[in-house]
Structure 1
Amino acid sequence: MYNLGVFQTIAIDDIVYSTNILRNPRQSLDQLAVSIMQRGLIHPVVVRPKNNEYRYELIAGYRRFEACKRLGMQKIICHIVDVDDKEAYEISITENVQQQTMSPIEEAIAFKRYIETFGWGGVSDLARKIGKSQEYVSKRIKLLSLPESLQKDIAQGKINVSTAEELFPLSNTEIAENLGDYILENNLSAKEARRVVKVFKENFKDLDVSLDKSNNELEFLLPRQLTEEYIDDNNSSSANQSELLFRVANPLLKRCALGIRLSLRNIDDIIGDIEDDRASSTLDSFWITKELLMQHRIRLHEQLDQLLRQASKLKNLQKLQAL
C-alpha cells in the first residue's frame, strides 16, 4: 500500500500524533520496549509531513513510538510517505489488523468510521484495502449492534468473536444480553451458543419487548408458549436447561407485567378524569368512553393473569429440575 517513500531518522520531538491514529493503550509496552532495547527498532514507524510545518504526523506504529519514548530515545527511524487523510487511515488500520493489535470491537469501530463517519468507501472497498474478506468486515461492524455489556466482554476477551456472532439473529437486546451472560458463565462454545439461540428464536419468536419513545409506553406481545422442551441437547442437563430459561425469560415476563400494570394505572387515571368532567360531557359520550376503557381494562387484566401464570410455571419448572 505504501511501498513508496523514504526512510529517515527523525527527532522524536518533531513527530506529533494524528487525530485519526488507531491507538491501543490497553496493551502493555513492557515487552516491546525490552525487545527494542535488545534488538533495535526492526519495523520503522510510518509518518507523513505536516502541511506547512517542519514536523511529521504519526500514521502507524503508535506502540513502537511509545516504547521508544519510554526508552528515552531522542531519534527514531521512520518511513516517510506523502499520503492524504484517507490513505493515512488505510495504512494505520491495515497495520493494526495485520498485526492483531486491536480487539474485535476496536476493529469494528475503526471499520465503521472508515465507511460511515468518513464515507471513504463501502465494505468491499475497505476489505480489499486491508486484505480481508467482505464477510470479515461486515461481521466486525455488526458486533456493534450487540448490547454494550456484550461488546465489553468481547473487547476484554471474555467471549470470543465466533461465539458472539451467534447472537446476531436475536433482535431483542434484553434476550441477547441475558444469553450472553449465560454463555459466558457456562463457557459455551460457538456451536452450543448457536443451539441455544435457535431454541429461543423458535420458542420466543413472538416475544417483542420495546419502549416506544413517542408515548413512553411499554409495548409488548406475549410469548407464544412456555414448554419444558426448550433445548434439544444431549450434553445439557435438565437443570441447566431450566436455569437458562429462567435466566432469560423471567426478566422479560416481569417487564411485560410491569408494562401492563402501568397501562392499568393510566386507564384508571383517565377514568377518574372523565368522571370529574362528567358534568361537561353528554350522557352518551361519557358512558361510551367509560365502557371502552373498562373493556380495555378487563383485557389487560386477562393478559396480566396469563403472564403471571407463565412466570409461575417457569419458576415451578426450575424448582422441580433443581430437586
Structure 2
Amino acid sequence: MGGAKKGLGRGLEALIPSLGLEESGAIKEIPVDEIIPNPFQVRRNFDQKALEELAQSVKEHGLIQPLIVTHDAESGKYQLIAGERRWHAAKIAGLSTVPAIVKEVSPRQMLEIALVENIQRADLNPLEEAEAYHFLIEEFGLTQEEVAKRVGKSRTAVANTVRLLRLPPEVKSALAEGLISEGHARALLSLPTPELQIKALEKVVKQGLNVRQTEELVRKLQEPKEASPRETPPDLKEIETKLGDNLGTKVKILKGRKGGRLIIFFRSDDVFRSIYERLLGKQN
C-alpha cells in the first residue's frame, strides 16, 4: 500500500489526473460513520480473513493511503469513491476517523474509479468484472475499446470477459464460487446450448478437469453424431436378400423420400470381378 499510484496500471492512473487529485492533495480526517458505500461498487464479496489481516495492519500503522470520497447531497454524508476495503478494515480496527480526499465527481467517474481500482488490484471475480464492463457499456454508452483503454486491457480481453454473462446461471454460480476458472468458463461458452454447457460443467467439476481437458470435452460434444441406422422395411429386406444371394455378396438398400441408394459390398478384387461379371450377365 506504499505510494498512492504504485502498481495501479494505466487505468486508474489515467483517471486520477482528470479528477484533479494530483493538484489537490488536501487530506482531511472524516468520521468513519459519516461515510457510506459507493453505489457503483462492482465488488460484492470481501474476503473476511484478508479484511481482518488488513485491519490488524491498520491498527499498527494506520491508513497509509487516504480514501477518496465525495459529498452526497441526499444523505448529507460522504460517499466512497475508492478504498472500500480500507474503509471496512478501519471499522474492524476500531478507528473513529479515517484520512480522506474529498472530490466532486460524476456517477460515471465514480463507477470508472471503483472498477479500475478493483481490476488493477485483481479484487474482482470474472463475473463481477464482466458486469462492470457491461454496465459501463450499457449505462454510459462506452464502446469496448473505450472500456479497454480505461482499465489498461485489450479490447479482445474486455469482449471475452463480457461474453461470460451469456452463460447459464449454473455455470455462473460455479465460476463465482471458484469451482471452475475463467478459462473453463470460456471453453464452455463454445457449446451451442445451455443444456450442453451445464452437462459439460457437471463433468468438469466431477472429474476435476483442467482447462485443456475441458476444451477437449467441448470439442467432442460438438462432433456430429452418426445417425442411428433405420430399420429396413420387410419388403426391402427381402429384396436385399435376393440380390445378395444372386450376386454372392452383401447388399444394402437405403431409401429416402425421393430416391435412394443401392450399396453392394465386396471384400476383394476377385469378389468385385465376380459381381461385375454377374451384373453384365444379367444385362446380356
State whether structure 2 residue 90 is matched by structure 1 residue 76: no
Q: Which amino acid aligns with 1:50?
A: D
Rg larger for: 2
Please report the TM-score for the alignment, with normalisation by the length of structure 2: 0.67
- 1:25 is aligned to 45
Superposed displacement of residue 39, structure 1: 2.5
Structure 2: 5+ residue stretches without partners:
1-14, 230-284
**Gap change, CA 1:23 and 1:165, over 3 Å in 2:** closer
Q: Assess if the C-alpha contact under 8 Å between 1:32 and 1:67 holds in 2.
A: yes
Superposed displacement of residue 174, structure 1: 0.6
| Partner SS, residue 128 of structure 1 | helix
- 2:219 is aligned to 198
Superposed displacement of residue 135, structure 1: 1.8
For residues 46 and 76 of structure 2, the distance between their equivalents in structure 1, rounded to whole angstroms, comes to 31
Q: Assess if the C-alpha contact under 8 Å between 2:52 and 2:92 holds in 1.
A: no
For residues 129 and 180 of structure 1, the distance between their equivalents in structure 2, rounded to whole angstroms, comes to 33
For residues 226 and 76 of structure 1, the distance between their equivalents in structure 2, rounded to whole angstroms, comes to 71
For residues 121 and 40 of structure 2, the distance between their equivalents in structure 1, rounded to whole angstroms, comes to 18
- 2:79 is aligned to 57
- 1:141 is aligned to 162
For residues 228 and 216 of structure 2, the distance between their equivalents in structure 1, rounded to whole angstroms, comes to 18
- 1:162 is aligned to 183
- 1:8 is aligned to 28
**Gap change, CA 1:41 and 1:32, over 3 Å in 2:** same
Superposed displacement of residue 176, structure 1: 0.5
Q: Assess if the C-alpha contact under 8 Å between 2:43 and 2:128 holds in 1.
A: no
- 2:108 is aligned to 86
Superposed displacement of residue 54, structure 1: 5.5
Q: Deviations over 1:272-300 (max 9, x none)?
A: xxxxxxxxxxxxxxxxxxxxxxxxxxxxx
Superposed displacement of residue 19, structure 1: 2.0
**Gap change, CA 1:9 and 1:225, over 3 Å in 2:** farther
Structure 1: 5+ residue stretches without partners:
205-223, 228-323
Q: Deviations over 1:205-244 (max 9, x none)?
A: xxxxxxxxxxxxxxxxxxx5479xxxxxxxxxxxxxxxxx
Superposed displacement of residue 96, structure 1: 0.6
For residues 168 and 56 of structure 2, the distance between their equivalents in structure 1, rounded to whole angstroms, comes to 38
Superposed displacement of residue 151, structure 1: 0.8
Q: Assess if the C-alpha contact under 8 Å between 1:24 and 1:63 holds in 2.
A: no
Q: Deviations over 1:4-52 (max 9, x none)?
A: 2332221223222232223433411211211211222122222112348
| Partner SS, residue 48 of structure 1 | strand
| Partner SS, residue 123 of structure 2 | coil
For residues 211 and 75 of structure 2, the distance between their equivalents in structure 1, rounded to whole angstroms, comes to 52
Please report the TM-score for the alignment, with normalisation by the length of structure 1: 0.60
Q: Assess if the C-alpha contact under 8 Å between 1:45 and 1:64 holds in 2.
A: yes
Q: Deviations over 1:124-171 (max 9, x none)?
A: 111111111112211111111112111111111111111221111112
For residues 53 and 143 of structure 1, the distance between their equivalents in structure 2, rounded to whole angstroms, comes to 36
Written as runs of structure 1 = structure 2, the 5 A alignment for 1:244-283 is none
Q: Assess if the C-alpha contact under 8 Å between 2:43 and 2:118 holds in 1.
A: no
Q: Which amino acid aligns with 2:79?
A: E
For residues 22 and 61 of structure 1, the distance between their equivalents in structure 2, rounded to whole angstroms, comes to 13
Please, which of 96, 120, 133 is the counterpart of residue 141 of structure 2?
120
Which of 1 and 2 has higher RCO (CA within 8 Å, sep 6+)?
Answer: 2
- 1:99 is aligned to 121
| Partner SS, residue 59 of structure 1 | strand
Q: Which amino acid aligns with 1:193?
A: T
Superposed displacement of residue 57, structure 1: 1.1
**Gap change, CA 1:226 and 1:72, over 3 Å in 2:** farther
| Partner SS, residue 41 of structure 1 | coil
For residues 161 and 226 of structure 1, the distance between their equivalents in structure 2, rounded to whole angstroms, comes to 36
Q: Assess if the C-alpha contact under 8 Å between 1:12 and 1:76 holds in 2.
A: yes
- 1:34 is aligned to 56
For residues 52 and 179 of structure 1, the distance between their equivalents in structure 2, rounded to whole angstroms, comes to 48
Please, which of 165, 175, 182 is the counterpart of residue 196 of structure 2?
175
- 1:233 is aligned to none
What do you get for the CA RMSD once the two structures are aligned?
Answer: 2.1
